[in-house]
């Protein structure tokens, strides 16, 4: 056990942590910059400089994904390193940036958002999570993959089970079994689709990946299936919660909501500040290949390290007034915040920066803009949002009214 004071370090699996993770993060940063967490068999890193190093230093590998994610996705770019990683990333990343993103994906996002906005009542309460946020990202992804939206509930069930597997900090066997079943069912669904697109390609992303080639290297059917699985889960779960949390943060700060309503170009800054202030993905894991000296002690080779992204983003040494939501703060940038040079850690940093960052940016931007265009949102009478989750955190409901 690594101690920094006269009390044990906060436990990231405890009920107290679930109720107030940011209070626990502050204690960890101040007293336990390197802490051993027995229930997860992991070391905790909580300060920005240490989390940043773990995300950027090649000595901190992604081998943890061999047991954390590969059993439910197959082998994906998130666990690759070196030339293998750079080559496979080069095969998929062009579709998620620049002209390709805006020409192919933005019309799909706009159309799906318009269809879902029709479900929102002009009068009376509605749950933004159930009505809109959980549906838009998955609908967009199945559209760009060329899959039928009638199977939305299947996809949602699969990605929920897979995300639960990846977030299973205490190794609940029922969660593990459900995640493995979801992987098998999703593979049985997707692999025949990939084979069919090789024979008869269309204008969808699966067909694009079937044809992609870099330096004579192409993706196998299994790799395309694994990437589609990763996109469905990571892109669906995190973006639907990001929509919810951005809206919640703006509602909690009416002056900033009014500023965004008057100038929609501020939506990007609102999202970047949300990624800093209350990131959906609160933590990620790494595995060092050698013993590494960090603040507070030594991290042994091949141990598991939990990088507390949300704690790093509230580090007092990095941000002024870190516990305040302020989309105007000088430390953030509405453009750079979606790149590997971001001042926050929510998309990761360095070579494994999230390939879908700009897709998430586009989906959140369209969602907030369209919501504000139909009325002024406010919490329904008597409703108070409550965040849930440790690994991935957001309100499970956001009951609103429009005026």
Has residue 102 been placed in a domain? Answer: yes
User: In terms of residue numbers, what domain contains 77?
Assistant: 15-331+355-402
- Asked whether residue 209 is domain-assigned, the answer is yes
Q: 287 in a domain, yes or no?
A: yes
What 8-state DSSP symbol labels residue 281? B
How does pLDDT run across 214-259, given as a tens digit for each residue?
A: 888 888 999 999 999 988 888 888 899 999 999 999 999 999 999 9
- Residue-averaged pLDDT of the chain: 92
CA dihedral (325, 329, 331, 336) positive or negative: positive
Q: How far apart are CA 9 and CA 18, in angstroms?
A: 15
Name the residue among 342, 358, 392, 359 with its Cα closest to residue 55: 342
CA-nearest of 204, 250, 253, 258 to 231 is: 204
H-state helical runs in 200-235: 205-211, 221-230
Please report whether residue 336 resides in a domain.
Answer: no
CA distance 375 to 261: 10
Angle at 341 between CA 87 and CA 281, to 5 degrees: 85
Distance separating alpha carbons of residues 228 and 222, to the nearest angstrom: 10
Outline where 101-172 has alpha helix (H): 106-117, 128, 136-144, 152-166
Q: What is the pLDDT of residue 5?
A: 55
Question: What was the pLDDT predicted at 1?
Answer: 44
Residue 233 lies in a domain: yes
Residue 276 pLDDT = 97
CATH number at residue 321: 1.10.630.10
Q: How far is CA 85 from the centre of its chain?
A: 20
Q: Which long-range contacts (CB under 8 A, 24 or more apart) does 263-266 make?
A: 264/368, 264/369, 264/372, 265/334, 266/327, 266/334
pLDDT at 307: 97
- Quote the CA–CA distance of 75 and 97 in Å, as a whole number: 23
Tell me, what's the pLDDT at 97? Answer: 75
Residue 48 near residue 54 (C-beta atoms within 8 A): no
- What's the pLDDT score for residue 49? 97
Distance between CA 100 and CA 105 in Å, rounded?
8
**Residue 3 covered by a domain:** no
Cβ atoms of 328 and 337 closer than 8 Å: no
C-alpha distances out from residue 269 to 146, 152, 212, 313, 364, Å? 32, 31, 34, 15, 11
Q: How many domains is the chain partitioned into structurally? A: 1
Tokens of 171: 């190794």
Angstrom CA distances, 391 to 68, 158, 165, 369, 387, stand at 13, 18, 11, 28, 12
pLDDT given at position 4? 52
Whose CA is closest to 363, among 123, 99, 141, 37? 141
pLDDT by residue for the chain (403 residues), tens only, comes to: 454 556 799 999 999 999 999 999 999 999 999 999 999 999 999 999 999 999 999 999 999 988 888 898 989 888 888 888 888 888 888 777 777 777 788 999 999 999 999 999 988 899 999 999 999 999 999 999 999 988 888 888 898 899 889 888 888 999 999 999 999 999 999 999 999 999 999 989 999 999 988 888 888 999 999 999 988 888 888 899 999 999 999 999 999 999 999 999 999 999 999 999 999 999 999 999 999 999 999 999 999 999 999 999 999 999 999 999 999 999 888 788 888 888 999 988 888 888 888 899 999 999 999 999 999 999 999 999 999 999 999 999 999 999 8
Q: What is the pLDDT of residue 332?
A: 87
Looking at residue 3, what is its pLDDT? 47
Nearest to 120 by CA among 382, 362, 375: 375
Residue 268 maps to a domain? yes
Assess contact for 306 and 12: CB atoms under 8 A: yes
Q: How many angstroms separate the CA atoms of 45 and 34, rounded?
A: 5
Structure-block tokens of residue 314: 């509230």
Cα angle vertex 121, ends 116, 122, to 5°? 120
Q: Is residue 349 part of a domain?
A: no
pLDDT of the residue at 6: 66
**278: its two tokens:** 């209350």
């Amino acid at each position: 056990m690594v101690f920094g004071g006269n009390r044990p370090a906060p436990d990231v699996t405890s009920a107290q942590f679930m109720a107030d993770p940011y209070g626990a993060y502050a204690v960890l940063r101040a007293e336990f910059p390197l802490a051993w967490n027995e229930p997860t068999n992991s070391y905790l890193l909580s300060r920005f400089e240490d989390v940043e190093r773990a995300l950027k230093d090649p000595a901190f590998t992604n081998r943890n994904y061999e047991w954390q994610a590969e059993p439910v996705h197959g082998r994906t770019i998130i666990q690759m390193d070196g030339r293998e990683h750079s080559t496979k990333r080069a095969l998929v990343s062009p579709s998620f940036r620049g002209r390709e993103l805006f020409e192919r994906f933005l019309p799909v996002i706009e159309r799906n958002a318009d269809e879902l906005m029709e479900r929102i009542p002009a009068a009376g309460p509605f749950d933004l999570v159930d009505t809109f946020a959980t549906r838009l990202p998955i609908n967009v992804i199945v559209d760009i993959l060329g899959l039928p939206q009638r199977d939305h509930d299947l996809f949602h069930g699969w990605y929920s089970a897979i995300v639960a597997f990846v977030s299973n900090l205490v190794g609940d066997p029922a969660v593990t079994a459900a995640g493995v079943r979801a992987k098998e069912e999703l593979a049985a669904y997707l692999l025949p689709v990939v084979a069919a697109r090789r024979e008869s390609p269309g204008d969808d992303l699966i067909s694009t990946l079937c044809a992609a080639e870099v330096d004579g290297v192409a993706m196998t059917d299994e790799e395309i299936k694994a990437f589609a699985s990763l996109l469905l889960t990571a892109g669906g779960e995190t973006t639907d919660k990001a929509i919810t949390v951005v809206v919640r943060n703006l509602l909690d700060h009416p002056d900033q909501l009014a500023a965004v309503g008057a100038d929609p170009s501020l939506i990007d800054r609102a999202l970047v500040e949300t990624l800093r202030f209350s990131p959906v993905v609160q933590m990620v894991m790494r595995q060092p290949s050698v013993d590494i000296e960090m603040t507070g002690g030594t991290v042994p080779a091949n141990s598991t390290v939990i990088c507390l992204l949300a704690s790093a983003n509230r580090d007092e040494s990095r941000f002024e007034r870190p516990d305040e939501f302020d989309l105007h703060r000088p430390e953030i940038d509405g453009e750079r915040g979606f790149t590997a040079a971001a001042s926050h850690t929510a998309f990761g940093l360095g070579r494994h920066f999230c390939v879908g960052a700009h897709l998430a940016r586009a989906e959140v931007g369209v969602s907030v803009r369209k919501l504000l265009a139909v009325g002024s949102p406010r919490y329904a009478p008597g409703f108070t949002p409550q965040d849930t989750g440790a690994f991935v955190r957001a309100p499970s409901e956001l009951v609103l009214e429009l005026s």
